[in-house]
Chains A and B, each alone.
Chain A
């Protein structure tokens, strides 16, 4: 990835379980770009919690390419919540 950035951020905040990003309401491929931009900025093992409105099927090959994996965790009704971590 180059130094330039598309500035598609979504809503971000930090909690005890990791860095959260809410990409609901963004048009495709905005969620994909925002999530990968955040993941690419993390240098340690901090997990990323994604709040999405659907299964981001295009995300998994991109995560695999950079050595990360996704797991589904409990979320609000109608929400798809994912925990992204470096693949071991």
Chain B
């Protein structure tokens, strides 16, 4: 029996999560992206010498990490991991429920930190923890028994283990603000920062890159042995950092952790470079430029991490480390990936009644992405200069540039969403 293109593509689409699930995560991430820059503007005076503590800079940091990075990671991984694991996401209701608990939880955490209002922060932390525990369960069910790429699955399991550490330390830190400390604050904070940024989010980013980058470049699968070695170094770095946080020879272990992290990054970087240079598709545009810039910031974050480890005599070292790690590496990488995969995912979820899927290039919006590119890099440069010069004015300028970039990126997402729902023939009109 021959099945028509319409029926077959309909069948393929039915095995995807409904478009409303990943897109509600992407939409919330776009809103929190803008709110993060607004919170940073509100706390610009404290940004250049920020070293922790309640206030708008901490709220801005969590609007980026929880509101943009983790929000997008949940939406994208629910859609992309089944490709690597060859197992579908088992519960669509859970995926939607996670969004409904997680999204207001992030808002409560950010407001609780910014105002500050410890009880609001505590309530938000509970909601976020419950939602992330639900996501961890979905992720674990998908990874257990997976038949796909072993190295991607191994990164998934390592990210999952890191998420457990992040959740435990997050609850402990929130309890400390309510006057009920669980773990010693310095240890909890060191574990929380390292396992959230390099552990959970970093390992998800590195692992998914082994599918995404060859897919973008149309390149061969990266060398599994080298990718496994990179993961071993990354996990070793996290364990060394955990030992340092627990008070076991803190400075030598932190320096060793940076060394192991650098080895992991060097191996990963080499594999990605090979994929990009040998792929059939060479002109990858702004998206891959952002990803390359992000990889450079990942290496720079390790250099500043070393500065923090050896107590370098510069007051802004912690703020600079945070900027390079969260905005320079993770946010830049994610925005680079997102601007490529969103039109692609939208094309897979074509509007009902269409005979053929619209092309990703007809769904994307180049002008907002060009504006975002310029604004994002301007924001990064301004904030780095603000920290080096100790200037709140430069921090404000950076927040304004970042906010303009966030509006442009939100406009790109809205355009893709509108075009994917448009009747036949409308998608191509820009």
Contact = CB atoms under 8 A, between A and B. Distances in A.
A37 B218 contact: yes
User: Which 9 pairs show the lowest CB-CB distances between chains A and B?
Assistant: A2-B282, A61-B347, A72-B8, A6-B220, A29-B215, A72-B3, A55-B12, A1-B280, A6-B219
Contacts of B281: 1-2
B358 A71 contact: no
Nearest to B80: A58
Interface string A53-88: 011011011001100011111100000001000010
Contacts of A54: 86
A36 to B, nearest CB: 6
Contact of B282 (A4, A8, A55, A82): A4
Interface in A8-27: 8, 26-27
Interface residues of B, number: 40
Interface residues of A, number: 33
Contacts, number: 110
Given A64-B357, A65-B360, A58 B280 contact: no
B221 A4 contact: no
Given A8-B220, A28-B149, A71-B5, A64 B356 contact: yes
B393 interface: no
Given A27-B148, A69-B5, A60 B280 contact: no
Nearest to B213: A29
Contacts of B356: 64, 69, 87
Contacts of A7: 220
Given A6-B219, A55-B12, A74-B2, A65 B83 contact: no
A69 to B, nearest CB: 5
Nearest to B282: A2
Given A4-B278, A61-B357, A70 B347 contact: no
Interface of A: 1-2, 4-8, 26-30, 32-33, 36-37, 40, 54-55, 57-58, 60-61, 64-65, 69-74, 82, 87
Contacts of B358: 64
Contacts of A6: 214, 218-220, 278-280
Interface in B1-52: 1-5, 7-9, 11-12, 15-16
